[in-house]
């Protein structure tokens, strides 16, 4: 299951560092309570870890200055910056480089002020964190870097240590100032990020193909990144999301992140999250369905079809449009398992999230050599339990949903009657759609399913 949900509420008081805590077992909670009890892991369960008081907290969290930091040129200085960029050395961005500019510019990676300098890179690569200017430890589990070659390094150094960034269409979109260069040890980066060095890993392949020099600096982006693909309206920034929470009068906000279409098991988890929040005393919980918007591997469903399918789920009433926002997270997908799930959580913290739900094998994939899971499917959520820099998150309890053959719909897994349940993976779901087969009735809404079948029929 490559999905995760997040919930936002008012800031909780600081808690003791999680590294000082011992977690002796996974814990699962009954659907009607936010209390936990220890249990043996017989079936997939969600890890509960509370880092905040259990009392009701009303009102959406006011984001800190860091969480709303953007890297756009002030409108009054824009014309001068564009004129200056014309005379600077040009660095051509790849599709993924552009997506990272998008991420940085809107503040998802705050407090980063641009592509990582060497000290930030070393901290991120080895500790999954960086030390902020105020001394605070900030989780940043994946390096956000820009690679160039030796010739480009020499050109930038000879012209004053600033350069202009050019997107794949040829448009100049930003200036990178106070440039710093350091060696790109690719195998080390790949090994520490993914736990392998295989060039067949989809993101590792991009790293090996990149330049031998990493370029860091202060990023000044001219204007909002737009793709003109009919989906820009869903690419809400952290600032825009916070404004939407206020506009809708939300007193709690929970995100559900995924890179797959939404099936009724996902919907059940989202519906039950809302129910639990209402039981805790919140009056108007708001759901954000947040699709990964950056590059994904070739066998994943493309973003356009995922958004169309998600809209159909809402149109069919499986998710309530009145209490749901459909959005796109601009980050590329790394497939870095427990390392990447920390990035996904941290970025949502910069959009005001205070609570987090993570399921089985987040950001995982099959090993390119032998086809088995690259990562232990439960280490993603366990890593979040210990991850420094994420202490403000509270992990909420959830159980895994599967297809219950006895009632013909998705339901929470009951280990006492395991034979009644069918687990339909994302791969199996895509296989059904590719072959034009219908999944079991009740697995997904009819309109939503037809979008997937039509997509695969068009290939």
- Assigned domain for 376 exists: no
Q: How many distinct structural domains can be found in the chain?
A: 2
What CATH code is carried by the domain that includes residue 9?
3.40.50.620
CATH number of the domain residue 204 falls in: 3.10.400.10
In terms of domains, do 176 and 51 share one? Answer: no
Cα–Cα distance for residue pair 313/262, rounded to 1 Å:
7
Residue 135 phi/psi, 5° resolution? 90, -5
18 plus 113 within the same structural domain: no
Provide the 3-class DSSP secondary structure of residue 384: helix
Position 456 scores a pLDDT of 93
* 187 Cα distance to chain centroid: 24
- Does residue 169 lie in a domain region? yes
Residues 95 and 8 placed together within one structural domain of the fold: no
Residues 215 and 285 both lie in one domain:
no
Tokens of residue 214, six digits: 């990493």
Tell me the whole-structure pTM to 2 decimals: 0.86
- Specify the pLDDT at position 398: 67
Number of Cβ atoms within 10 Å of the Cβ of 243: 12
CA end-to-end span of the chain, whole Å? 25
Contact 221, 164 (CB under 8 A): no
* Residue 190 sits in the same domain as residue 46: no
Domain that holds residue 43: 3-60+245-332+393-457
What is the rounded distance in angstroms from the CA atom of residue 459 to the CA atom of residue 452? 11
Each residue's pLDDT expressed in tens, for the chain with a length of 459 residues = 566 655 555 433 333 333 333 233 323 333 333 333 322 222 222 222 333 333 333 344 443 333 579 999 999 999 999 999 999 999 999 999 999 999 999 999 999 999 999 999 999 999 999 998 888 899 999 999 999 999 999 999 999 999 999 999 999 999 999 999 999 999 999 999 999 999 999 999 999 999 999 999 999 999 999 999 999 999 999 999 999 999 999 988 888 888 989 999 999 988 998 998 899 999 999 998 999 999 999 988 999 999 999 999 999 999 999 999 999 999 999 999 999 999 999 999 898 887 777 778 889 999 999 999 999 998 988 888 889 998 887 777 667 899 999 999 999 999 999 999 999 987 788 889 999 889 999 999 999 999 999 999 999
- Does one domain contain both 403 and 316? yes
Residue 204 is assigned to a structural domain of this protein: yes
What pLDDT sits at residue 47?
29
Q: Is 190 part of a structural domain of the chain? A: yes
What span, in angstroms and rounded, lies between the C-alpha atoms of 267 and 305? Answer: 18
- The reply to whether 439 falls in a domain is yes
Q: Is residue 318, in this structure, part of any structural domain at all?
A: yes
Q: Does residue 340 belong to any structural domain of this protein?
A: no
């Amino acid at each position: 299951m490559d999905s995760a949900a997040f919930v936002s509420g008012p800031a909780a008081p600081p808690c003791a560092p999680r590294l000082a805590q011992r977690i002796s077992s996974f814990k699962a909670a009954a659907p009607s309570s936010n209390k936990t009890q220890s249990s043996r892991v017989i079936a997939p369960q969600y890890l509960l870890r509370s880092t905040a008081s259990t009392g009701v907290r009303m009102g959406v969290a006011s984001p800190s200055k860091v969480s709303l930091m953007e890297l756009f040129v002030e409108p009054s200085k824009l014309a001068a910056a564009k004129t200056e960029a014309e005379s600077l050395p040009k660095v051509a961005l790849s599709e993924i480089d552009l997506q990272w500019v998008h991420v940085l510019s809107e503040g998802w990676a705050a407090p980063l002020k641009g592509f990582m300098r060497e000290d930030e890179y070393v901290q991120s690569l080895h500790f999954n964190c960086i030390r902020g200017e105020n001394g605070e430890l900030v989780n940043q589990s994946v390096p956000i870097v820009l690679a160039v070659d030796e010739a480009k390094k020499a050109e930038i150094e000879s012209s004053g240590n600033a350069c202009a960034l050019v997107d794949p269409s040829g448009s100049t979109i930003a200036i990178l100032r106070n440039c710093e260069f350091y060696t790109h040890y690719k195998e080390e980066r790949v090994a520490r990020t993914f736990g392998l060095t295989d060039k067949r890993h989809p993101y590792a392949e991009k790293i090996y193909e990149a330049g031998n020099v990493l370029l860091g600096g202060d990023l000044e982006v001219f204007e909002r990144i737009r793709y003109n693909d009919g989906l820009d309206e869903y690419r809400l920034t952290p600032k825009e999301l916070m404004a939407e929470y206020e506009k809708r009068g939300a007193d709690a906000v929970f995100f559900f992140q995924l890179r797959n279409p939404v099936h009724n098991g996902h919907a059940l988890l989202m519906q039950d999250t809302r129910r639990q929040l209402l039981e805790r005393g919140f009056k108007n919980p708001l759901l954000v369905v947040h699709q990964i918007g950056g590059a994904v591997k070739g066998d994943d469903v493309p973003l356009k079809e995922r958004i169309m399918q998600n809209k159909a789920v809402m149109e069919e009433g499986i998710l309530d449009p009145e209490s749901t926002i459909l959005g796109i997270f601009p980050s590329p997908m790394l497939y870095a398992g427990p390392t990447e799930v920390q990035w996904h959580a941290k970025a949502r913290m910069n959009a005001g999230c205070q609570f987090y739900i993570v399921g089985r094998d987040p950001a995982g994939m099959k090993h390119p050599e032998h086809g088995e899971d690259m990562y232990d499917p439960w280490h993603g959520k366990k890593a979040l339990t210990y991850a420094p820099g994420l202490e403000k998150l509270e992990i909420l309890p959830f159980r895994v949903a599967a297809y219950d053959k006895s009632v013909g719909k998705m339901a929470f897994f009951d280990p006492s009657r395991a034979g009644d349940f069918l687990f339909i993976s994302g791969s199996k779901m895509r296989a059904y759609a590719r072959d034009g087969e219908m999944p079991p009735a009740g697995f997904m809404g009819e309109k939503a399913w037809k979008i997937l079948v039509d997509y695969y029929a068009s290939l």
